[in-house]
Amino acid sequence: MRSLSVGIDIGGTTAKYGIVNEQGEILEQDRISTRAHEDVNQFINDLYDKLMPMINRHGGIGNMKGIGAGAPNGNFNTGTIEYAPNLVWRGIIPMADLMTAKFGLKTLLTNDANAAAVGEMIYGCAKGVKHFITITLGTGVGSGIVIDGKIVVGHDGFAGELGHTIIRKGGRFHKGTGSHGSLESYASATGVRETAFEFLAADPTEPSLLRNYTTEELTSQTVYECAIKGDAIALKVFEFTGEVLGEALANAVMFSSPEMIVLFGGLTKAGDLLMKPTKASMEANLIQVFKNKVRIVYSNLKESDAAILGASALVWS
């Protein structure tokens, strides 16, 4: 029958995996450390030992249509993970081939943001939408671009790195890439924190709840908590973040003209604090022909499930 699929979300710290049915229900899930496995083969062996009993509880290999995996710097064309700075495995890892060989199940791999986009397309708020862009606003900023119902992977499998596009020429330094003014350096959890520090330093006499936190305690979460209490600087941080994000979205809209943009990840907890300035800024930066056409929405997938769902959905799409 092959009515189920396996979804694996490979992150820097852990890999989460689960068995998913076509309705997008995760029937069972678990996790395994990635960081503790310096050798990728050891990782796959340990994953096999934990995942196989789970597969067997759901009808065995013969009931699985395949394995879908999402990973940072995952390449859909080749099934490899290439030079991922956040993973312990260096160089080019032929992850899909290794898993296919070990499990005897066809494995498809893509980058984590593309997997999220597939999840939105199959199970989320982009169901039936042919042209949309998913932006994940987490520790970093990832993106998955869908045109005509297909994920854009480009000639080399690496397309969709909107987080690294330069939005503010000569702007904030990005440690990971050495670039200045990238979207990720502003519109990520890390970026929000840095903006808060900048605003606090720029206006040292203005009272702010944010000043009650140590440098370590101050995170995008604490900025959010202060903002909903009405703290002026915290509110300004989200307004600024939305302004930069909206500029990037406008550029993306003028590129591929999507009908919907789905925002996903930790920062979206900020709700209207982020959504309102983002929408306003996007509209202000669009030329006439694109204005008031593009819906920006927050993902309605549960964050803890979405990565597994998205990865598993590669098998159906």
- List strand residue ranges (DSSP E) for 72-166, in order: 74-75, 80-82, 92-93, 107-111, 132-137, 141-147, 150-151
For residues 165 and 208, which CB has a smaller minimum distance to its own copies in the complex? Answer: 165
For residues 11 and 160, which CB has a smaller minimum distance to its own copies in the complex? Answer: 160
Instruction: Find where tokens 């032929």 sit.
Output: 94
Interface residue list for its own copies (CB under 8 A): 73, 82-83, 130-131, 145, 147-148, 150, 152-162, 164-169, 177, 179, 247, 250-252, 254-259, 285, 287-290, 293
CB of 126 to its own copies, least distance (A): 12
The answer to whether residues 65 and 74 touch, using CB atoms and an 8 Å cutoff, is no
For residues 124 and 258, which CB has a smaller minimum distance to its own copies in the complex? Answer: 258
CB of 15 to its own copies, least distance (A): 22
CB of 132 to its own copies, least distance (A): 8
- Burial category of 245 from C-beta neighbours within 10 Å (exposed 0-12, middle 13-18, buried 19 and up): buried
CB of 108 to its own copies, least distance (A): 17
How far is 161 from 73, CA to CA, in rounded Å?
A: 10
Nearest-10 crossing angle of helices 232-256, 220-228 = 110
For residues 165 and 317, which CB has a smaller minimum distance to its own copies in the complex? Answer: 165
For residues 63 and 317, which CB has a smaller minimum distance to its own copies in the complex? Answer: 317
The answer to whether residues 274 and 268 touch, using CB atoms and an 8 Å cutoff, is yes
CB of 138 to its own copies, least distance (A): 18
For residues 96 and 286, which CB has a smaller minimum distance to its own copies in the complex? Answer: 286
Tokens for 267? 């920062």
For residues 113 and 226, which CB has a smaller minimum distance to its own copies in the complex? Answer: 113
CB of 191 to its own copies, least distance (A): 16
How far is 271 from 80, CA to CA, in rounded Å?
A: 36
Contacts 24+ apart (CB under 8 A), 279-283: 279/242, 279/246, 280/242, 280/246, 281/242, 281/243, 281/244, 281/245, 281/246, 281/247, 281/249, 281/250, 282/246, 282/247, 282/249, 282/250, 282/253, 283/246, 283/250
For residue 292, count other CB atoms closer than 10 A to its CB.
7
Amino acid (1-letter code) at residue 209: L
CB of 178 to its own copies, least distance (A): 9
